[in-house]
Amino acid sequence: MKLEILHELNAERAARRPVILVTDTENGEQRLVKARDFAKDPLHAELDKQLRMGKSASIEAGGKKLFLNVCAPTAKLVIVGAVHISQALAPLARSLGYDVTVVDPRTAFASPERFPDIPLVAEWPDTALPPLNVDPYTAFVAVTHDPKIDDPALLHAFERNCFYIGALGSRKTHAKRGDRLRAQGAKETDVARIHAPIGLAIGAVSPSEIAVSIMAEITAVLRLPSKEKVEAA
């Protein structure tokens, strides 16, 4: 690998921006494709597919044999609300490779006893969230049912363009939430991004089942093309 490409690769990885290294396996030529350039690249369909899957792969294109080396950031999950659902959701997400953090200013809920081995931030969202470097490779879940906690957290998720934003509550509750968020400056497109009621409709009842439905929905948003996401909803 040329030193220039290595420097570019390391810079993109440090900034948590996905890149794919394309190598011609016959002559060894390499080029680095950054996320912002995927759409205009001749291999855009293959690049998009492998990035969504998070896997490197060999392909044939234009009469050439190529190896696509996918370098994607580790996905994060920020859970706002140290509730029963979160106790099931945090370890489940961990088992799927997510970096998980639970945020809740209520220390009676956000305790190490309730969340062993899970990073906890017992602060209000305005204080807790900025240091977490929430970004487009972050799934964001708000489950406190308390507007004083959930609403500012969701506004932060909008600003950081999280790939998934979900919030607990019925359709009626969500309608009221949308009115509050819009009153605080949220755009209609922001509110429309919230998955609410949260999780896939699998008839989940218990906290553990709801956690499964949430992670299934997050996985669908991360891995499936847009058309298939709609069909899975």
Residues 200 and 106 in one domain: yes
Residues 35 and 140 in one domain: no
pLDDT tens for residues 132-161? 999 999 999 999 999 999 999 999 999 999
Residues 63 and 159 in one domain: no
Residues 46 and 159 in one domain: no
Phi then psi dihedrals of residue 83, to 5 deg: -100, 180
Phi then psi dihedrals of residue 36, to 5 deg: -70, -15
Residues 16 and 113 in one domain: no
The pLDDT value given to residue 224: 86
Q: Which of 42, 71, 100 is the last residue of a domain?
A: 71
Q: Which of 71, 104, 121 is the last residue of a domain?
A: 71
Nearest to 125 by CA among 160, 149, 101: 149
Sequence-distant (6+) residues with CB within 8 A of 200 are: 213, 216, 217, 220, 232, 233
C-alpha distances in Å from residue 135, one per residue of 18, 78, 139, 199: 12, 11, 9, 21
pTM of the model: 0.86
The alpha carbons of the chain give a radius of gyration, in whole angstroms, of 20
Residue 164: strand pairing partners: 139
The pLDDT value given to residue 52: 84
The boundaries of the domain holding residue 153 are 76-232
The pLDDT value given to residue 29: 92
Residues 180 and 84 in one domain: yes
Residues 85 and 55 in one domain: no
Residues 46 and 91 in one domain: no
Residues 44 and 120 in one domain: no
Largest CA-CA distance found in the chain, in angstroms, rounded: 62
Q: Which of 27, 46, 71 is the last residue of a domain?
A: 71
Phi then psi dihedrals of residue 201, to 5 deg: -80, 85
Residues 175 and 110 in one domain: yes
SS3 160: coil
Residues 23 and 117 in one domain: no
In this structure, what token pair is assigned to residue 126? 């305005």
DSSP string across 95-137? HTT-EEEEE-S-TTTS-TTTSTTS-EE-S-HHHHSGGG---TT
Output the domain CATH number for residue 177. 3.40.50.720
pLDDT tens digits for the chain (233 residues)?
788 889 999 998 888 888 999 999 999 999 999 988 988 999 999 998 898 888 899 999 888 999 999 998 999 999 999 999 999 999 999 999 999 999 999 999 999 999 999 999 999 999 999 999 999 999 999 999 999 999 999 999 999 999 999 999 999 999 999 999 999 999 999 999 999 999 999 999 999 999 999 999 999 999 887 644 444 44
Give how many domains the chain has, as a whole number.
Answer: 2
The pLDDT value given to residue 228: 46
Residues 112 and 224 in one domain: yes
Exposed/middle/buried for residue 35 (C-beta within 10 Å: 0-12, 13-18, 19+) = middle
The pLDDT value given to residue 226: 62
